[in-house]
Amino acid sequence: MTVRTTALPEERALLDLLPPAAPLSWVRRGEGLVAWGTAARLDLPAESERSGVWRFTAAAEWLESLFAGITVDDEVRRPGSGPVVFGSFTFDGRDAGSTLVLPRVVVGRRGGRTWLTVVGEEDAPLAAAPPPRPVGALRWLPGTVGEDAWTSTVARAVERIRDTGLAKVVLARDVVAEAAHPIDVRTPLARLAADYPDCYVYSVAGLTGATPELLLRRAGDRLESLVLAGTAPRGATGREDAALAEALLASAKDVEEHAYAVESLREALGPFCAELRAPRRPELLRLANVQHLATPVHATLAPGTATLRVLAALHPTAAVGGTPTRTAMEVIGELEGMRRDRYAGPVGWIDAHGNGEWGIALRCAQIDGARARLFAGAGIVGDSDPRAELAETTAKFRAMRAALTD
């Protein structure tokens, strides 16, 4: 297999280049990667343990074999050039569906420079694509667990936290949208990119969304991560917005939830890092629909550290699982009442040198034909109020609901 990367004098927006069939995306503020076509693909079966890492190990072995068999001509030589694989992993190891895709065509853009990567021979790699189709009328259906049942589940989780050593557990729920015709994934992608420019707008095998949470970015031995935990809505006025932000920063419940997430990341990254830096206090990350407590983390990886090994160690973070991790995962399996599939699992890309960007698949939907399954979750601690947690998930649904609504 041959791969060639060349500089590209292309000024069109990356998402405008995508054809309608199975688009791949990782874009933030107009930069990143878009891709299409399939040169190679790996779909992994379920493993035996909920917290297992076999899918990451199997993916790493497949990547090593794949990249070893590729002849590369790369005149750009930067992270994201040469052969690039897009991937997304299930939240629970016992779910099948973790997917890796080596696309036939990739267009990348970073720092004002654009490049084109082609696998094999493509006659017209940048052929004009038809414009995205409107979604049309939608029929909204209840998810796996109804709202009243979900709030009861949250109340049971709070009792479990108060009666045991569990500190935090994240509970998710879903809703379903049905259209009259197959949904053109490019339509919600474009809307998400416009409405949430500070998020990573992604699509891999139909899992489509805009995540604010960067699990890891690797360039050489440098690694970055962004911890998000603790959420409040945005205000209708500047004064109301500032008051909500102040309340979030002062909230003992949210600050506690955030501290668990930061400590979880520190413990996971520690064995792989020669150096790790994180501020003591969180800052605010403001998005169009919500605002989060956020802590940026910077680290230097030890020599020889494999990217997917770090990814396996980081997942699941306290922000999407809970604390302590194993206990939280058991409670999720017992109480949540649905399969998350690839929601809240790692999603992103990796190149042949181990460089890449991986986020947590949040604010997303699994789009299959005319059906979209939307997901949202909330962190439950001892002081959680079930109705307030329901409202938080409703606010998180808004990103994908708006992206799907004409």
What is the pLDDT confidence band of residue 264, given thresholds at 50, 70 and 90? Answer: confident
- Residue 78's alpha-carbon distances to 29, 100, 303, 306, 354, in angstroms, are 19, 21, 19, 18, 12
Tokens representing 305? 């550290």
Three-state DSSP state, 190: helix
Q: Say whether pLDDT at 398 is over 80.
A: yes
End-to-end CA distance of the chain: 42
> Which one-letter amino acid corresponds to residue 267?
E
The domain of 90 spans 2-404
The owner of tokens 């992206």 is 403
Neighbour tally for 207: CB within 10 Å: 24
Give the Cα separation of 390 and 6 in Å (integer).
49
Report the length, in residues, of the chain: 406
What is the pLDDT confidence band of residue 353, given thresholds at 50, 70 and 90? Answer: very high
Task: Say what the alpha-carbon torsion angle 162, 385, 281, 210 is, to the nearest 10 degrees.
Answer: 120
Q: Where are the alpha helices (DSSP H) in 81-234?
A: 147-163, 186-195
If we measure between CA atoms, which residue out of 102, 137, 85, 107 comes closest to residue 311?
Answer: 85
Q: What is the largest CA-CA distance in the chain?
A: 64
Three-state DSSP state, 194: helix
What is the pLDDT confidence band of residue 199, given thresholds at 50, 70 and 90? Answer: very high
For the annotated catalytic residues, the residue numbers are 168, 213
The three-point CA angle 373-377-380 to 5° equals 155
Mean local confidence (pLDDT), 63-80: 97
Residue 196: CA atoms inside 13 Å, Cβ hemisphere, count? Answer: 29
What's the confidence (pLDDT) of residue 229? 84
pLDDT tens digits along 117-173:
999 987 778 888 899 999 999 999 999 999 999 999 999 999 999 988 899 999 999
Mean local confidence (pLDDT), 238-264: 90
What is the pLDDT confidence band of residue 206, given thresholds at 50, 70 and 90? Answer: very high
Q: Where are the alpha helices (DSSP H) in 54-183?
A: 54-68, 147-163
CATH number at 277 reads: 3.60.120.10
What's the confidence (pLDDT) of residue 34? 98
Contact between 359 and 366 under an 8 Å Cβ cutoff? The reply is no
If we measure between CA atoms, which residue out of 300, 326, 304, 309 comes closest to residue 225?
Answer: 300
Give the Cα separation of 401 and 399 in Å (integer).
6
Contact between 303 and 149 under an 8 Å Cβ cutoff? The reply is no
What is the pLDDT confidence band of residue 272, given thresholds at 50, 70 and 90? Answer: very high
pTM above 0.85, yes or no: yes
What is the pLDDT confidence band of residue 404, given thresholds at 50, 70 and 90? Answer: very high
What's the confidence (pLDDT) of residue 135? 98
Residues of the chain above pLDDT 70, percent: 100
Provide the domain count of the chain.
Answer: 1
